[in-house]
């Protein structure tokens, strides 16, 4: 487990002055991820909220070497840097240990950058990919992505007479990464800081690629008061909407099992994108989403039991 005293000695890993929204949870996620590393890092990021708010020219909040890639190729970019590093170390031209981390939002990870991510994982590059998942294209106007949950209102899945939000269930990208047979895959949330930091440490320690999917409550797209970001993340975990688990060399382990499972309605009602689901006549939509959360949770419990 992560040692809080030791982590506090590292000081700020992300400089203040970034332009993220008040109450945004990505700076918390980023600081936790960067604090977990004990070796120098090279970081990359796809275009997205994290990139545009931390690297407004001529300023940067990053205290590591940082590479901004296009939406679709962040994983390819850092896999190329890692390959160059591996070549230089084999030739004896470089002898320092360096770790590589790529960041991408759900748009640049689940959708536009999926082929780049899949290729990097399949080739076996020694790198960690962190998806900060706010469940839509928040940076460009709150459009739906394949990470957007069923029923959610976005600018491209509006509420109307014909349709009530997004019609499809969200993609299970974590399972897709597990199917790549890579050494380490996990889901995490910033509310559970020790769990997230420990998972990053494990991911950086493996020999080969690793992937961590981190839920990122979004002030803009989820529309909650700035002080409630961590509570939103806790509710997602405690309702089993966003289970915390890891898969090490194919073996599943659930990291948090709520003693009293929170009804999904308690998580959804705090977000304006689901307000229509609480209107009379939409009870079936709420029940449908609860059933899907239950189904995925039971399937995860069975995978863990299988060892």
Query: pLDDT (tens digit, 9 = 90+) per residue, 130-157?
Result: 999 999 999 999 999 999 999 999 999 9
pLDDT, residue 5, reads 77
pLDDT, residue 206, reads 98
Q: What is the mean pLDDT of residues 105-130?
A: 98
Taken in order 254, 257, 261, 262, the sign of the CA dihedral is negative
Which tokens belong to 63?
């205290």
111 DSSP 8-state letter: I
**pLDDT for residue 27 is more than 80:** yes
Q: What is the mean pLDDT of residues 279-304?
A: 96
**pLDDT for residue 258 is more than 90:** yes
Return the ∠ at Cα 52 (arms to 159 and 175), rounded to 5°.
60
**pLDDT per residue over 262-291, tens digit each?**
999 999 999 999 999 999 999 999 999 999
The confidence band for 6, taking pLDDT boundaries of 50, 70 and 90, is confident
Return the ∠ at Cα 164 (arms to 163 and 167), rounded to 5°.
80
Q: Rounded to 5 degrees, what are φ and ψ at 70?
A: -70, 170
Q: What is the mean pLDDT of residues 12-24?
A: 91
pLDDT, residue 9, reads 76
**What value does the mean pLDDT of the chain take?**
95
CA 271 to chain centre: 19
pLDDT, residue 39, reads 94
Q: What is the mean pLDDT of residues 27-34?
A: 96
Helices (H), the chain: 4-8, 26-35, 49-54, 74-90, 106, 114-123, 173-178, 193-205, 219-222, 229-238, 264-268, 283-306
The confidence band for 158, taking pLDDT boundaries of 50, 70 and 90, is very high
CA 118 to chain centre: 16
Q: What is the mean pLDDT of residues 54-82?
A: 96
**pLDDT for residue 249 is more than 90:** yes
pLDDT, residue 287, reads 96
**pLDDT for residue 102 is more than 80:** yes
State how far the Cα of 196 lies from the Cα of 245, in Å rounded to an integer: 10
pLDDT, residue 23, reads 92
- May I ask the CATH class of domain 13-306? alpha beta
**pLDDT for residue 12 is more than 90:** no
**pLDDT for residue 2 is more than 90:** no
Contacts of residue 53, Cβ cutoff 8 Å, sequence gap at least 6:
18, 19, 20, 24
pLDDT, residue 99, reads 98
Q: Do 42 and 96 form a contact (C-beta atoms < 8 A)?
A: no
pLDDT, residue 307, reads 77
Q: Rounded to 5 degrees, what are φ and ψ at 42?
A: -120, 125
State how far the Cα of 205 lies from the Cα of 214, in Å rounded to an integer: 19
Cβ neighbours around 266 below 10 Å, total = 11
pTM above 0.95, yes or no: yes
**pLDDT for residue 4 is more than 80:** no
């Amino acid at each position: 487990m992560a040692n809080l005293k030791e982590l506090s000695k590292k000081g700020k890993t992300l400089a203040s002055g970034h332009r993220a929204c008040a109450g945004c949870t990505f700076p918390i996620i980023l600081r936790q991820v960067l604090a977990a590393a004990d070796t120098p890092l090279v970081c990359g990021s796809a275009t997205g909220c994290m990139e545009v708010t931390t690297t407004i020219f001529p300023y940067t909040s990053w205290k590591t070497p940082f590479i901004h890639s296009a939406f679709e190729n962040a994983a390819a970019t850092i896999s190329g840097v890692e390959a160059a590093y591996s070549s230089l170390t084999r030739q004896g031209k470089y002898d320092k240990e360096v770790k590589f981390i790529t960041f991408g939002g759900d748009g640049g990870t689940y959708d536009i950058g999926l082929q780049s991510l899949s290729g990097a994982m399949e080739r076996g590059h020694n790198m960690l990919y962190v998806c900060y998942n706010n469940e839509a294209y928040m940076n460009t106007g709150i459009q739906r992505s394949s990470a957007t949950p069923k029923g959610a209102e976005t600018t491209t899945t509006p509420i109307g007479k014909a349709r009530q939000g997004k019609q499809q269930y969200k993609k299970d990208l974590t399972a897709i990464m597990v199917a790549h047979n890579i050494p380490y895959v996990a889901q995490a949330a910033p509310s559970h800081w020790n769990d997230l930091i420990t998972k990053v440490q494990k991911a950086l320690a493996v020999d080969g690629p690793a992937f961590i999917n981190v839920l990122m409550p979004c002030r803009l797209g989820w529309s909650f008061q700035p002080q409630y970001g961590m509570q939103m993340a806790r509710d997602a975990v405690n309702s089993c909407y966003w289970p915390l688990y890891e898969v090490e060399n194919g073996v599943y382990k659930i990291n948090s099992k709520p003693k009293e499972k929170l009804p999904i309605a308690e998580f959804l009602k705090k977000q304006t994108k689901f307000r229509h689901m609480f209107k009379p006549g939409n009870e079936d939509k709420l029940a449908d989403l609860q059933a899907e959360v239950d189904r995925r949770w039971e399937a995860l419990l069975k995978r863990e039991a299988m060892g």
